Structure 1
Amino acid sequence: MTRKAAKPPLEQQVIWLIGASSGIGEALVHQLADRCLQLVISARNEDKLDQLSCKYQRISSIVADVTDLASMQQAARYIEDGFGRIDTVIINAGTCEYVDVQAFDSALFQRVLDTNLMGTVHSIEVALPLLRNSQRGYLVGVASSVTYLALPRAQAYGASKAGMRYLLESMRADLASEQIDVSVVSPGFVKTPLTDRNDFPMPMRISADEAAVAIVKGLQGRPWDIHFPKRFTRLMQWLAALPACARLAISRKTSTNSVKEASDER
């Protein structure tokens, strides 16, 4: 049996952070910039990337769109020419749109899946050759704790993140023989520009800085699932283990359609 290479410390790593311009991604920039050998950040927002890269010495930035494979290939070539490898890639780019089942819209699903799921696929495709140049590569994808329990209105977002989780777990099995580790990140509610648009209560919500601290701590141990805040994600995991009828009852209580039905009955 081939002996596994040691996990390189952050200080020796070239890290590519995809989706770095706001929210958790921006907070991760501040957590990682002074702790790794080199941080490459990418996103669609060039102005924000420039602002972030000017604050630290060991940051390089490149504009890239995860929904555009050619754009991601160009970013990977930039990294290969500059550093020759990636030790860790963190796929954080994502979006969220909520579904109105009374006006079911496949175009909405297409937009969310293109960014969250196909964006992850594109990122993996271009990052894998560079991860294979590492002593022990590390593939990380930011999914969501919504994958533990189906929630109302989250059909598109949840399906994309559940697909992402399945994809990463399959990659974990296939890449084990190459000594490339794989982790999925499963945040609870995190205060970001994306969640600021939510029109419902977000229990146990934490700041983007708190999320970034939890992720960086998890990166060092490389577990399969980096989930937080624990008091929320453990509750979600417990609910997910309930029988299907119980899960449905819980989900229905939070559904806006159930509220409407109750109102119609009065």
Structure 2
Amino acid sequence: MTIDKNVLITGATSGIGAALFALFSKHGHTLYPCGRNEEKLRELKEHSTRCQPLSFDINEIEQVNLAASQVDAIDILILNAGDCAYIDDAMAFDAANFARIINTNLTSLGNVLAAFLPKMNKGGQVVFVSSAATLLPFPKAEAYGASKAGINYLANSLRIDLEKYQIGVSLVHPGFVETPLTNRNTFDMPFILSASEAAQRIYKGVMKKKQYIHFPRRLTWLLKVLAFMPQFLRHRLM
């Protein structure tokens, strides 16, 4: 029997976030889907009677705080919102693009954590959606990879400090997932999963309170094995 949880999901209007919303809703949980697209948030509300959409930009602390004032308690906080962009020419390094990705994927998490952690119930769980791309350095991924690597450290460090408050932390390393972001990629994406498949794996891991969730394992284990190769071989392979 599933116990009803209050679940807040950032980036809930597309991709993995939308798939997670659908899955948690199917299992009868109370949802707080978050995003900037108010039209899509209204559509989500039409599909669930236990849903309170929250419209805000994670980079705007005043908007985040206003949204938090509408929430009484959270059992599961899923930090999923993010963006992806590449550094196409390292010699013409795009500092503005780099800063935008770091701010959206990493710095903004400070706004969300500051606003919503005080709302967490004992026994609650914070879920960070990072990326399997952090297992190895990839070309042109300086901004995206650095932001997601920062999430890894943030999640693993916060887990230690939240233990005394009886709040757990899960770190998610998805491989390639079919989303509006990956649809822009022009390279091969091995073992790619649908957003629904990714959501199912995240849901199962979260409900079991796993500290580390990674998939598809044939990709993540391959990347971990390659990470043990001598650096000059990894460099040539990349």
The answer, yes or no, to whether TM exceeds 0.5 is yes
CA distance in 1, matches of 2:29, 2:185: 37
- Give the aligned partner of residue 199 of structure 2: 212
1:128 counterpart (117, 127, 139): 117
Once the two structures are TM-superposed, the CA of residue 170 in structure 1 deviates from its matched residue by: 0.5
- Give the aligned partner of residue 47 of structure 1: 39
1:97 counterpart (82, 85, 89): 85
- Give the aligned partner of residue 106 of structure 1: 95
Assess if the C-alpha contact under 8 Å between 2:122 and 2:165 holds in 1. Answer: no
SS in 2 for 1:11: coil
Once the two structures are TM-superposed, the CA of residue 242 in structure 1 deviates from its matched residue by: 2.3
Assess if the C-alpha contact under 8 Å between 1:93 and 1:119 holds in 2. Answer: no
Percent identity, aligned pairs only, is: 41
SS in 2 for 1:12: coil
CA distance in 2, matches of 1:30, 1:162: 28
Unaligned runs of 5+ in 2: none
- Give the aligned partner of residue 79 of structure 1: 71
Assess if the C-alpha contact under 8 Å between 1:14 and 1:36 holds in 2. Answer: no
Once the two structures are TM-superposed, the CA of residue 37 in structure 1 deviates from its matched residue by: 3.4
SS in 1 for 2:69: helix
- Aligned-CA RMSD value: 1.2
CA distance in 2, matches of 1:248, 1:216: 35
CA distance in 2, matches of 1:167, 1:180: 15
Assess if the C-alpha contact under 8 Å between 2:7 and 2:76 holds in 1. Answer: yes
* Structure 1 letter corresponding to 2:205: G
* Structure 2 letter corresponding to 1:52: L
Once the two structures are TM-superposed, the CA of residue 180 in structure 1 deviates from its matched residue by: 0.7
C-alpha distance after superposition, 1:225-253 (max 9, x if no partner): 111111111111111222322222221xx
- Give the aligned partner of residue 18 of structure 2: 26
Q: Evaluate the alpha carbon distance shift between residue 151 and residue 50 of structure 1 in structure 2; reply closer, same or farther with a 3 A threshold.
A: same
| 94-103 vs 159-168, greater mean Cα deviation | 94-103
Q: Which of the pair has more CA radius of gyration?
A: 1
* Structure 1 letter corresponding to 2:101: V
Assess if the C-alpha contact under 8 Å between 1:34 and 1:58 holds in 2. Answer: no
CA distance in 2, matches of 1:95, 1:209: 19
SS in 2 for 1:89: strand
SS in 1 for 2:123: coil
2:224 counterpart of 1:226: no
* Structure 2 letter corresponding to 1:138: Q
2:154 counterpart of 1:182: no
Once the two structures are TM-superposed, the CA of residue 220 in structure 1 deviates from its matched residue by: 1.3
- Give the aligned partner of residue 263 of structure 1: none
Unaligned runs of 5+ in 1: 1-8, 252-266
C-alpha distance after superposition, 1:122-175 (max 9, x if no partner): 1111111011xx131100011100010000000000000000110111001111
Count matched residues: 237
TM-score when normalising by structure 1: 0.86
